[in-house]
Chain A
Amino acid sequence: MSRKKEVRGSEELLVSKKYVRQSQIRIILHNLRKNKGAMIGLAIIVLLVLVSCFADVLFDYDTEIAGLDISQKLIRPCKEHIFGTDDLGRDIFKRVLYGARYSLGVGFAATMIGMVIGVIFGAIAGYYCGLAEDIIMRLNDVLSAVPSILMGIVIVSALGASTFNLMLAIGITSVPQFVRITRAAVLSVRNQEYVEALKATGMSEARIIAFHVIPNCMSPIIVQITLRIASAIIATSSLSFLGLGVPVPAPEWGSMLNLGRSYVRTASYLTIFPGIAILITVLAFNLLGDGLRDALDPKLRK
């Protein structure tokens, strides 16, 4: 083999390093940047993630978030407490900020649980037709026939109210969506000729599915993840509102709504601010999801 080699110093440089390949993530980001709504959504999410990560640095949980101070109770929004304080004298602004970690954390973890289970079964159902597909899809139909809130209530009541059980409950309710989306995507990829070409080169089916089929189905799954996180956040808040979610006194937005319920007429700021927090977060994820759907669509790429 008489190939020319780039010699830099004494080290031989592989030719493939010389020609930089375009990173796919960069192309997607480039497309995403054009979408203002998605960028706003992304900015809000980044902010919320930062707040969640550094919540413990910013606030002292025992005194500022969970500690009571009856003398300060039910103060209207003012300079000192810009969102006011609740019936136990806790600062609502701090609690709302701190609460982001529960919503995001549970929403994200639950979606991941749902995604992993859903993608595995969806890929199997899509790739191997026949009996496996029938069984998975019928079970999936059964699972999606149960209203998700009801499902969540059943799981949490059976296993007990804890943050982990909440994640599990919400995760399982999001499985059917992922199964369906993955199966549809896999079905279209499976019939592409390159899958057959890889079989002809003697590659194992497991490797083909993991390295060639699933990566090509990622776009709808990624979009689904962002949209599912939004609904998982709503589900988290709903279950917490019912007292089945994150145990008190943790400042979960849903349980804050529940606490403020009895003061709606006299001190509406107890419910307004956590409500707005939920709204903005869900909106941010939905905006990002819509933006990603466009950015990942190969038809819109040049």
Chain B
Amino acid sequence: MAENILEVRNLKKYFKTPRGMLHAVDDVSFTIEKGHTLGIVGESGCGKTTTGRCILRLVEPTSGEIFFEGKDIMKLNRSEMKHLRKDMQIIFQDPFSSLDPRYTINQTLSETLRINKIRSGKKAIEDRVLELMETVGLAERLINTYPHELDGGRRQRIGIARALAMEPKFIVCDEPVSALDVSIQAQILNLLEDLQEKLGLSYIFITHDLAVVNHFADEIAVMYLGQIVEKAPTAELFENPLHPYTQALLSAIPIPEVLDERPQTILSGEISSPIEPKDECRFSKRCRFSGDRCKECGPKLVEVKPGHFVACGRLGEL
């Protein structure tokens, strides 16, 4: 069996709000094998971004355990964490706000290299900056340009280069392409794929776009209101989605082909509030199969096939 690079157990993150506790991430567990990609899919407010931030401890989890290469990072102190940050990096969604507008590409990258003592000496740092730029496909002449002079795709490349500067083993990609145009989106996806192959990286790929995650991930976890409702290898999930929410998500993808009929399960209603949720299936209000049992207690993730987990109270009946 392949080695796990990351293991998350019972991760919880609650935020205090004036109206009560907001359960942003509620008891989430998963593992990622070295060199693999886990896709986390869900709609806005389902806690996918918070999950990504918690793993890097950019947001302190309320409870839970996170093992990175066997070490429990929740137990690390500040300086040990700083050391570990080199191995774990993040790429952000918005290439406009994720770069300091007053820093050129060169300044952004060389600062990262210098502060973390990854390279020292002017020459070595500059060589590395140029090497990073080449890796992510930025032309040498752009070295002294500011972010506002560049388009979204190039800015996202700088974001990737900054993450790579730390020489990480694992990267959280938080919607890295959703702010980009389709033709640029494909360029960035291919780049991320090549980097994974070349550098043996492991990814968490957070997105709302199922078509992208289908292309990119080895395994997919579908989140709904802070919980994982279904988790399976990508091909299995697309061929045999078991949770009603996953089914609705899949049928909602607009397929760019001329089809005579589009089988669509259109959900009624909207995501309910994640503040102080009751102990019931959180999807039951929108679910067309919802029954009495769904209202009684929240379903647990059950392994229905090797590697395929579903949390649905009426699984056996449907």
Contact = CB atoms under 8 A, between A and B. Distances in A.
A and B touch in the complex (CB under 8 A): yes
B102 A24 contact: yes
Interface in A58-86: none
Contacts of B101: 216, 298
B143 A215 contact: no
A26 interface: no
Contacts of A212: 100, 103
A299 to B, nearest CB: 12
Given A16-B143, A202-B82, A1 B131 contact: yes
A201 B116 contact: yes
B42 interface: no
Contacts, number: 87
A200 B170 CA distance: 12
A15 B130 contact: yes
Contact of A193 (B98, B115, B126): B98
A193 B104 contact: no
A15 B143 CA distance: 8
Interface string B83-117: 10110111011100111111110100000100110
A131 interface: no
Contacts of A196: 53, 58, 90, 92, 98
A216 B83 CA distance: 28
B131 A197 contact: no
A216 B88 CA distance: 27
B152 interface: no
A202 B89 contact: no
Contacts of A265: none
B78 to A, nearest CB: 10
Contacts of A19: 140-144
Given A1-B131, A19-B143, A14 B122 contact: yes
B123 interface: yes
A1 B90 CA distance: 26
A145 interface: no
A129 to B, nearest CB: 12
B145 interface: yes
B56 interface: yes
Interface centre among A3, A12, A16, A215 (most CB of B within 10 A): A16
A185 B143 CA distance: 29
A15 B122 CA distance: 11
A298 to B, nearest CB: 8
Nearest to B82: A202
Given A14-B123, A212-B100, A197 B159 contact: yes
Contacts of A298: 101, 148
Contacts of A201: 85, 89, 112, 115-116, 162, 165-166
Nearest to B145: A21
Interface of B: 53, 56, 58, 82-83, 85-86, 88-90, 92-94, 97-104, 106, 112, 115-116, 122-123, 126-127, 129-131, 140-146, 148-149, 159, 162, 165-166
